[in-house]
Amino acid sequence: MPTETTVQGDVDEGFGPVADIFRDNFASRGEVGAAVVVYHDGRRVVDLYGGVADPRSGRPWTRQTPAVVFSCTKGLLAICGYLLVQQGRLDLDAPVTRYWPEFGRAGKDGIPVRALFTHRAGLPALDRPFTRAEVIAWDPVIEAIEAQAPLWEPGTAHSYHALTYGWLVGELIRRVTGVPPGEFFRTALGDPLGLRTWIGLPAAERDGVAWTLAPPGTAQPYPDSVSERSLTMGGAFDFPADSDGLVSFNDPAIQAAGVPGAGGVSSADGLARGYAACVSETVGPRLLTAASVDDAVVIRSQGQQRFGWPDAGQRWGTGFLLGSPRVRPMLGERSFGHDGAGGHLAFADDSYRVGFGYVINQMGGPEDDRANRLTAALRGCLD
C-alpha cells in the first residue's frame, strides 16, 4: 500500500521516528486504516492518520475517525474507578456488597472491590449462555453475575475477565453514581476534555466509525471452554469474527449499547488526550493524583492464568494493563493503560508525562507488533 500519499498529520521536531514507523506499518505490516496520537507535557506532539476507514466504500480515515477499541474500554472504566476513589465514593478494599448487595450471593459475599478490577474475582465466564439481545439489555447479565458462583476461590488465582469485567466494574460504577458507566464516563472525562470517545455511541456518530476487519489467517482455537465462554460472552458474540469474517462489534446495536468491557468507540486523539489528562494538565487540572497513579502501577496479577493461553507476560494493575516487557512494553515501569483486541493501544506514563493512543481497523494476529514498534520509536524520542 503506498503510504506516502495516505499518511497525513503532523509531528513536532524530535518525534519523526514515530512517523517513520507509522508509515512503515502500512508498507510492511498490512495496515489498512489507523491513527496515532501522542501528548507530551499536555501538548500534542504526534498527530498522524492515514489509509481507509471503511474498505467497503473506500471512505478515508480522517483525524476525527473513531473505531471500536475493544478492551481499551477497560482502561477507561479503571480511570472512572480511580476518580470515584478520589471523590471518596469508592473504596477499593471494601467488599463489593457495600455498594452492590445482591452481588454477595453464591459465595461472593467477601470479594473486595479491587478483585473486580484485577481479574481475580473468579468470574471470567458465566455458566449460562446469552443472546446478543440479552447482553445489550444489561440486566440479564447482572442477574446472572449475582447468581454465579466463582470458578475458583476469589483472590487465589487470576484469569482475564475478557467481557465480564465490563459488567462487574460497570455495575459497580452504576451503583455508586446512579447512572450507567458510559454516562458517567462522558460526564467525568469525555465532555470536560472534549474526547471523541464513547461507551455507548451516539446515533449521530454512527456513520463515521471505522469498519473493523477480522485478523488475516485462521483463527486461533480457544484453549478451553471457559475461555470460549469468556471471549464470546456465552455465545452472544463471535470472536474475533464469524465464519464469514464479520466482526460482531461492527453491529450498530452493539456500538450503541456500549458493551462496557470491549465496546468503547474512540479516535486516537480521544484515547491519548484522556490518558494525558491523567498525568498532566491538558484542558484542565490533572485528573489522577500521584497517589492514584502510584496505586495503579502496582502489579496485582501476573503469571499463568487459571484458564486461558500460556502466560505471555502480561502484568495487571487495578484495572489497567501495565508495561509488560515480554508482550506490551509501552514506555516502562510507570506505564498504565490497556490494549484492545487486534492491535489498539492506549496508555499514560507519569515519568515521561505522556498520553498515547493508537487505533486501527485491521485486526492483527498473535504476532502483531504494530503498536509495540510505535512505542519503541516513541521511547527512543523521549530518552
Mean pLDDT over 196-223 rounds to: 95
> Can you say whether the dihedral through the CA atoms of 137, 134, 56, 374 is positive or negative?
positive
Whether 260 contacts 169, CB under 8 Å: yes
Question: What pLDDT, on a 0 to 100 scale, did the predictor assign at position 2?
Answer: 40
**The three grid cell numbers given for residue 169, joined into one nine-digit string:** 466494574
pLDDT tens by residue, 311-329 = 999 999 999 999 999 999 9
pLDDT tens by residue, 4-57 = 547 999 999 999 999 999 999 999 999 999 999 999 999 999 999 999 999 999
Rounded to whole angstroms, how far apart are CA atoms 26 and 2?
Answer: 8
Question: What pLDDT, on a 0 to 100 scale, did the predictor assign at position 350?
Answer: 98
Q: What percent of the chain has pLDDT over 90?
A: 96
Question: What pLDDT, on a 0 to 100 scale, did the predictor assign at position 4?
Answer: 52
Helix residue ranges per DSSP H, 29-148 = 72-86, 113-117, 132-137, 139-147
Taking the CA atoms of the chain, what radius of gyration do you get in angstroms?
19
**The three grid cell numbers given for residue 54, joined into one nine-digit string:** 471503511
In the chain, helix, strand, coil percent, each to 5? Answer: 35, 15, 45
Strand partners of residue 180: none
Question: Which residue shows C-alpha cell 486523539?
Answer: 269
Domain boundaries, the chain: 3-27+68-269+283-382
Whether 98 contacts 121, CB under 8 Å: no
Whether 141 contacts 161, CB under 8 Å: no
Whether 258 contacts 264, CB under 8 Å: yes
- CB count, 10 Å around CB of 106? 12
In Å, what is the CA distance from 293 to each residue of 47, 219, 358?
A: 26, 37, 22
* Contacts (Cβ under 8 Å, ≥6 apart) of 306: 151, 152, 157, 158, 159
Whether 323 contacts 335, CB under 8 Å: yes
Strands (E), 160-308: 197-198, 265-266, 301-302
* Residue 1, pLDDT above cutoff 50: no
Helix (H) or strand (E) segment spanning residue 252: helix 252-257
30: left (phi over 0), alpha (psi -120 to 50) or beta: left
Whether 278 contacts 130, CB under 8 Å: no
Cα–chain-centroid distance for residue 295?
Answer: 19
In Å, what is the CA distance from 232 to each residue of 229, 245, 314?
A: 5, 15, 21
CATH number of 3-27+68-269+283-382: 3.40.710.10
* Residue 351, pLDDT above cutoff 60: yes
Rounded mean pLDDT of the chain? 96
Mean pLDDT over 211-240 rounds to: 94
Strands (E), the chain: 8-11, 33-40, 43-54, 59-60, 67-68, 197-198, 265-266, 301-302, 315-316, 321-322, 335-340, 344-349, 354-360
Question: Which residue shows C-alpha cell 475517525?
Answer: 65
